[in-house]
Amino acid sequence: MRDSDPVAAFAAEVGPPAAGAVVAVGGRTQWDVGGRPDPEAGAREVGAPAGVVALEAADMTVTVLAGTPVAAVDDALAGVGQAVALPAPPGATVGGILAVGRSGLLRLGWGPVRDAVLRVRYVSAEGHVVTAGGPTVKNVSGFDLCRLLVGSLGTLGLLAEVTLRTRPLPATERWLTAEADPFYLVRALHRPLSVLWDGVTTWVLLAGHPGDVAAEAAAHGLVDAPGPPPLPPHRWSLRPGELRGLASPPPGGVPGRFVAEVGVGVVHADVPPPPRSVEPAVAGLHHRIKDLFDPTGRLAPGRHPWAA
Amino acid sequence: MSRTTPAAPAGTAALAADLAAALAPDRVRTGGVELALYGRDASVLSGEAALACFPLTTDEVAAAVRVARAHGRPFVARGSGTGLAGGAVPVGDPVVIVTTKMDRILSVDAEDRVAWVQPGVVNLDLTRALAPLGLRFSPDPSSQQACTIGGNVANNSGGPHCLADGVTSAHVLAVEVVLPDGTVTVLGGLDAEPPGLDLRGAFVGSEGTLGIATRIAVRLVPEPPAVATLLADFATVEAAAETVSGVIAAGILPAALEMMDQRITRAAEDFVHAGYPTDAAAVLLVEVDGLPAGVADAVDRIDGVARAHGARDVRVAADDAERALLWKGRKSAFGAVARVAPNYYLHDTVVPRTRLVEVLAEVYAIAERHGLGVMNVFHAGDGNLHPLLLFDAREPGAMARVHAAGDEIARVSIAAGGVLSGEHGIGLEKRDLMPLLFGPADLDAQARLREAFDPDGVANPTKVLPAGSRCGDLQSVPEGLWV
């Protein structure tokens, strides 16, 4: 078939419920989040198509197929001085980043990844292509299924194509460091893109007009750093105000090495976080949503964003 | 007013007695002139409110929901009633749950940059309370002197200053809600990554159909260290619209980028005396903020883009007083219209920024074809059009012409790659236009979300989704609801 619509082809590959369990595969950079697919279910692996569909520089939007690597989207946008506000670990796809829903180290400046999404086209458990949201940078037409799908780990639908807002590349971007109070810096600096702290050293990423960045660096005794520090493997989610207690011994603090995202609340630590649960009413909503969106349980069996 | 009070549905007295027992007798109303107010919002639709109650606490909201359900009645939550899409108009003899007495700011945490507020807190009151801390809640709808945070959550409201920072959804961290079965729970959380699906995101903008927000954790952002406000005036609407695209294409994302056409500029100038150029075909009001060097650079570049597109003049506000005056004209624009026409219908669609010129030309042509005056004042930076269609409701057939023109504007916007609503919501007014934007499978998916929260369809029934979204038979808004 010539000029076939890649989204329709992906829907055909997913097929109707009779085609059995499926799990979407991106770059496998966060494969274990929410649990591995249940081997007993024998889910068939499917991959969303890749490619940039439309780059609307003057609208600051870009539409891409979900299998496109984030880095490839940024490469395509670099020519018009823009980028997307998604983390781009090597090999990660747009669909994978959104399905997992975890933001990167620059969430303080960019906002959470869920806010970058304007429209999604996904393949439903019935094998239909469903559109949610709209192509414009502002839209309140109907229920916000985009937010529901971000972080749903492919359990409610398989992302096929997404429209993202883009951001202008700043004139300059500098990682800086100092042995300074990160809780003071996060308030004193104007909208830093990132403030990281390991209990002793603080790293910040400043962006904008070179004169402003230089002035802020000088005012706070910040010196250039090669980049952010290496991150311990586990991820905790705290309130920003709870981070002050991190360096104290448990239970207030996190044992071992840590790098905290100040102003955000994510803590990268040597030890895994304690298990979390949701209130019974919220668990009930989760189960009803799953049952209505995927009545036969064919999408990513074994994965549970609400039980992670 | 010639409206007569309709007969209350059977069982209303018993329902009122149970509500009075659960709340307080003086916070339940079953008649009188006041009740007529709760039959409508700021849209051109109206229904009948047979019963309204005024809870003070989360527990009272939950009790009101449970009492309504025990009596087989639906419910509709309502803030100040400034909604423009009929979202708060009662349909199906609901219990109207008015949240305006839940108006306390419960806590402000400057360290975590979050405030917990009750749903009846007025948007501008929150802004004023935060000002001494150098913080703000970014969404600033034009109705901010009256609209409530609960209403902002229901409608995912915007405002001029949402261009760079996003609409309400981006500023709500958690919502305590009363679900349609009367259960109280919290969606979202104050920590970085609350576990599970983003039910907070699904709830914001759901127009009261998934439950009632009873406490809201809003994100606070710092006031910028430097701000500049520019007023650029143009000899043609096209030149102004092209400047909008030019600014964005130059990589500048202003804090706000508003456009006013000549008729609204004149009306606002007569009203406020902001010093607007009344001979300009269109003016742009642009605000940039940040650190001083970046702001100065952006001002220079915007000035250059505007002049390159034929701006006759670009004026930078010299001080805070002049800035405030320029904004006062913009924010008073809707009030100024009352001096020009007895009634107006305020539309709300979004088009890609690059299609503004052609869609605006269509808007003027559509209004002219239907014999209606039109004024345009809108959030140009995000392509969010707000044509005001002027009419006199006493003139026979005027409303029908307004509807026809409004419909055409929605169709033209969608044909240009736009959407039905940028910040007012769907409510009843645009419900039956939803199929222009979404196919049956798309509407079915939205209806599933609604069903998960509200399997019996008791929370603000008939709003947002056309009837039959789950299975295919579409029906229209009942005739009697249009004014």
pLDDT tens track for A42-75: 999 999 999 999 999 989 999 999 999 999 999 9
User: How many C-beta neighbours within 10 Å does residue B339 have?
Assistant: 9
Instruction: List CB contacts of A218: < 8 A, sequence separation 6 or more.
Output: none
Q: Is B248 within 8 Å of A288 when comparing Cβ atoms?
A: no
pLDDT in tens, B204-246: 999 999 999 999 999 999 999 999 999 999 999 999 999 999 9
CB A180 within 8 A of CB A142: no
Q: How far apart are CA B397 and CA B412, in angstroms?
A: 23
Tell me which residue of B58, B119, B64 sits closest to B96, measured CA to CA. Answer: B64
Residues of B in contact with A263 (CB under 8 A): 113
Q: Which residues pair with A205 in a beta bridge?
A: A175, A194
Instruction: List CB contacts of A214: < 8 A, sequence separation 6 or more.
Output: none
User: Average pLDDT for residues A229-254, to the nearest whole number?
Assistant: 89
Residue pointed to by tokens 């007798």: B25
Tell me the ipTM for this assembly.
0.96
Q: Please report which helix (H) or strand (E) contains residue A174, including its range.
A: strand A172-178
Instruction: Output the six-digit token pair for B54.
Output: 């005024």
pLDDT of residue A155: 97
Q: What is the CA radius of gyration of chain A?
A: 21
Q: How far apart are CA B44 and CA B86, in angstroms?
A: 7
Is the four-CA dihedral B385, B391, B393, B396 of positive or negative sign? negative
Residues of A in contact with B446 (CB under 8 A): 132, 142-143, 145
Model confidence at B114: pLDDT above 60: yes
pLDDT in tens, B9-18: 889 999 999 9
- Could you tell me the pTM of the whole model? 0.95
**What is the least distance, in Å, from the CA of B113 to any CA of chain A?**
9
pLDDT in tens, B252-269: 999 999 999 999 999 999
pLDDT of residue B482: 60
CB A129 within 8 A of CB A160: yes
Tell me which residue of A138, A113, A283, A247 sits closest to B413, measured CA to CA. Answer: A138
Sheet order of strands, B256-261 included? B313-316, B226-234, B282-290, B256-261, B373-378, B387-391, B343-346
Q: How far apart are CA B290 and CA B22, in angstroms?
A: 50
Is the four-CA dihedral B454, B460, B465, B466 of positive or negative sign? positive
Residues of B in contact with A215 (CB under 8 A): 291, 293
Q: How far apart are CA A243 and CA A265, in angstroms?
A: 7
pLDDT of residue B477: 57
Q: Is B170 within 8 Å of A131 when comparing Cβ atoms?
A: no
DSSP letter (8 states) at residue A231: -
Residue of A117, A137, A163, A259 to mutate for B, most B C-beta atoms under 10 A: A137
Q: Which residues of A57-84 are buried (b: 16+ CB within 10 A; e: fewer)?
A: bbbbbbbbbbbbbbbbbbebbeebebbb
Residues of A in contact with B190 (CB under 8 A): 239
Tell me which residue of B11, B17, B24, B89 sits closest to B464, measured CA to CA. Answer: B89
Residue of A61, A98, A131, A139 to mutate for B, most B C-beta atoms under 10 A: A139
Q: Which residues pair with B76 in a beta bridge?
A: B96
User: How many C-beta neighbours within 10 Å does residue B4 have?
Assistant: 7
Q: How far apart are CA B134 and CA B121, in angstroms?
A: 19
